[in-house]
Amino acid sequence: MNLYLNLPLKINTKSLFIAIVWCLNLLLISSGWSQQLTLNDKEYFEKPGVNILVFSNQYNGMFFDEKTAGIELIHHGVRTATGGAVRLQNTPEQWDLVPTLTDRKVDKDNNSIEVTLHYKELDFYSRVKVTSKDQGVEINVYLDEPLPEKLLGRAGFNFELIPAAYFEKSYLADGKPGIFPLYPAGKTSIVPKSEKIQQFAGHTTFDDRGKDEFIVPSPMATGKTLILSPEDPESRIKITSESEIMLFDGRLLAQNGWFIIRSILPSNKTGKVLTWYMEPNAVPNWKRDPVIAFSQVGYLPEQEKVAVIELDQYDTPLKTASLYQVMPNGTDKEVLKTEVNNWGAYMRYNYLKFDFTQIKSPGLYYIKYGDQQTNVFSIAANVYDNIWHATSDVWFPVQMDHMEVNEGYRVWHGEPFMDDALQAPLNHEHFDGYSMGNSTDTKYKPLERIPNLTIGGWFDAGDFDIQTGSHCHTILSLVEAYENFKLDRDETFIDQKNRYVDIHRPDGKADILQQIEHGTLNIVAQVINIGHPVRGIVVPNLHQYHHLGDAMTETDNMPYNAELKPYETDGTYSGTLDDRWAFTTRTRFLDNFTTAALAAAHRALKGFNDTLSNQSLKYAVRLWEEKDQVKEDTTKWVQRFGKRMEAAASLELYITTKEKKYADYFEKIIWSIIDEPRMGGMSMALQAYPFMDKGFQKKLKTKMSDYKKSLDELAKENPYGVPISGDGWGGNDRIIGWATTNYYAHKLFPEIISAEYVYKGLNYIFGCHPYSNISFVSAVGTKSKKVTYGNNRADFTFIAGGVVPGLLLLKPDFPENKEDWPFFWGENEVTVGICADYILLGAATGELSKEQ
């Protein structure tokens, strides 16, 4: 192309300058379009606007398809597609079989990555090779042997699109237009259940009333060229193949389903059996907008105030940022403009810090960096006064099992699981980590009813099971909050006798005591009726487990009677085997955890429910005395944390009984775990301090200098100065626990540990974190989580006061917390344990702010 053909014959300086600029721009745009994807040092394909990961993250053998594995696309800063692999269903569900990665070869010289995948259940191998080509990648599938007959028409290459990334956008299939539907309304068909390859035989994803059938979505479109989102350059993808490509809507089968692109592998063929060319569009010279991270709750006048600005690796930092105050008349006033500090690189981004600590006047403010402007936040003396109220007032009541829960005009759920519970069968691998060995460790036979378990307890998380370990954790944190801060907030009516809860209706009793009572009731019932605490109580079938809606409808609420036919009832019992199972294997770890929780509950419930209080101490002591007779779990996790549970049990028994033997036992253990950050030893030691002798107190003080050094080291590890983690599950629970430990350290040793180490943790939870600046606590802070993994997740909404796990750190360098897709449970599932910990930290910070 001759760029000068249209220039005037008589060239003046201005015309020449315009022509040169135009040519340079055209060259830049052209180079942006033609730039190839290259393998970087972190072993993924990269160019500005496009990253393609090839099994940097693997399928999980416990929870199977977490949608964080295979070939994944990060498109203009957002992960929009994942799951690129050979799969055995058109629209796989979470519990369908996933392949194991057996080999991964990175060839930088040829810009390719090759992986070997294995389905051990079927002894089926495939290889997938991804190679940079033109402006995209070529994906080739290889088979060393022809497909087994069982997999003909079933094995295919899948690539999955996060639906929220393509809602209300269009596609072209061989030029024929279509629209990605906001809600699934496509065509389905019914095929024999025997044609589905399942992980859990006998625990189908379908109600038994479906007979021997299951649902199969029909393709939305077919063709050999798919153009996804042609109208949007930031989400446009082109996929071509000589084989037929099908586009499915997996949400027809499950609410957490994705849009799936799939080609079936051919029969009687080896070697290269399938080729795709995939070209994600790259906007020329694209850079991710800066993220200004700060606390959505705001700041105390006297605390440090530092915003963290997250920049694309290709972005050039600006020198300054500004703070504006919103005045009473609605005008904005710049109150500070100062240089930002360059912190450096962390994961895939670069970071700046904007310090506005000097601003102490109460008011409303926002931060401006270049063209980016934050929402408004507060500086005030009362910013932490009510941060835990929504969690106590709303989230915990909604989680209460065996109760009807009402809020104004809304019924959250009726009385669930009034048919609890049956003894789980022997030698059984269940889902979600539940299993039974060759003994029940009880007097009950498999599937025999265990009486009197229809009482108390909370739904553990977004699902509806009772997990005893989580209950113990929750009780301990709630007791800690009650004893240290005398929380007497009363905003909930709880009637245990009539199994009724009414939110925002005071009943003259402290809500936190009623919640401690509710959790303790279930654990005491386990010990009385089973003989010891159990792993948990969960439904027997997957079609129940992924239930969304009113918890009361997950079972028929009638105890099972084997003499009745399925779905037959006599008005009291039913022949439907849908009652929850109690997984009753006994371990010393869980006994010790329960000992700690019951010993603590005794103190809190004394004078509130004396009968339950006395039972709690009685069974705590009994479990402790029996501990040496109980076999220990041999899993690495339990072996690692076993000492921690023994320390917790002995400490709580000592605080409750004042018997020196417990203090001696605690001191024997605590020093061996105090320096391990994940063990919680420092937190326990600090809590024990007021109850221990002068020797213990003096020794603990000598630990504080090293502890402070560990806190300061975090400021070198990441720009937020907190212990960030999130491999498979977000790390907010660790950060909340860390900040709470720092509270105790500050209270005891204020000359060594500053209150700022508490506020750093809260600032992170409230928005000063990577990826976005959203508060991780729903309905707390100006801008907070509105899409979470609760039992109402299919409605893309939240339960007020829920605290999500936070960031997933996807290997090798991508932090993520989705606000448009609730079904990432590792990022968005709220649990009772983290919410109890948050109430404790919130109460502690409120007390701390009053002192300051």
Summarize pLDDT for 291-311 with one digit per residue, the tens. 999 999 999 999 999 999 999
* Confidence at 675, pLDDT banded by 50, 70, 90: confident
* Torsion (CA) 255, 258, 263, 269 in degrees, nearest 10: -80
| Phi and psi torsions of 677, nearest 5° | -55, -40
496 vs 455: CA distance, rounded Å: 9
213 vs 668: CA distance, rounded Å: 59
pLDDT tens for each residue of 498-525? 999 999 999 999 999 999 999 999 999 9
pTM value is: 0.94
* Confidence at 228, pLDDT banded by 50, 70, 90: very high
- Token reading at 541: 């079938």
- Token reading at 334: 């710049």
Average pLDDT over residues 759-784: 98
> Above 60 in pLDDT, residue 29?
no
What are the residue ranges spanned by the domains of the chain?
A: 38-280, 287-383+715-852, 389-587
For tokens 């446009």, name the residue.
236
Share of the chain above pLDDT 70, in %: 94
Share of the chain above pLDDT 90, in %: 88
Residue 10 pLDDT = 39
CATH code: domain 38-280 is 2.70.98
Residues 6+ apart with CB under 8 A from 626: 591
Burial of 109 (0-12, 13-18, 19+ CB in 10 A): exposed
Listing DSSP states for 154-210 in one string gives T-EEEEEE-HHHHTT-EEEETTEEEE--SS----EEEEEGGGS--SSTTS-SS-GGG
Mean predicted lDDT score pLDDT of the chain: 93
pLDDT tens for each residue of 625-639? 999 999 877 777 677
pLDDT tens for each residue of 366-413? 999 999 999 999 999 999 999 999 999 999 999 999 999 999 999 999
Residue 197 pLDDT = 75
Helix or strand (DSSP H, E) at 409: none
> Above 80 in pLDDT, residue 25?
no
Listing DSSP states for 3-56 in one string gives TTTTS-SS--HHHHHHHHHHHHHHHHHHHHHHPPPEE-TTSSEEETTEEEEESS
183 vs 532: CA distance, rounded Å: 47
Strand 500-503 relative to strand 492-495, pairing: antiparallel
Average pLDDT over residues 792-808: 97
* Confidence at 22, pLDDT banded by 50, 70, 90: very low
Output DSSP code: residue 572.
S
* Torsion (CA) 249, 253, 255, 257 in degrees, nearest 10: -50
Angle at the Cα of 81 from the Cα atoms of 75 and 84, rounded to 5 degrees: 125
pLDDT tens for each residue of 176-203? 999 999 999 999 998 887 777 766 543 4
Residue 31 pLDDT = 40
> Above 80 in pLDDT, residue 14?
no
pLDDT tens for each residue of 469-484? 999 999 999 999 999 9
> Above 90 in pLDDT, residue 34?
no
Residue 638 pLDDT = 74
Task: Using alpha carbons, list the distances in angstroms from residue 278 to 221, 245, 312.
Answer: 17, 12, 25
Partners of 649 in the beta sheet?
Answer: none
* Confidence at 159, pLDDT banded by 50, 70, 90: very high
> Above 90 in pLDDT, residue 61?
no
Helix or strand (DSSP H, E) at 735: helix 732-748
Average pLDDT over residues 212-231: 93
Average pLDDT over residues 237-252: 97
At the top level of CATH, which class does the domain 287-383+715-852 belong to? mainly beta
> Above 70 in pLDDT, residue 678?
yes
Q: In one letter, which amino acid is 92?
A: P
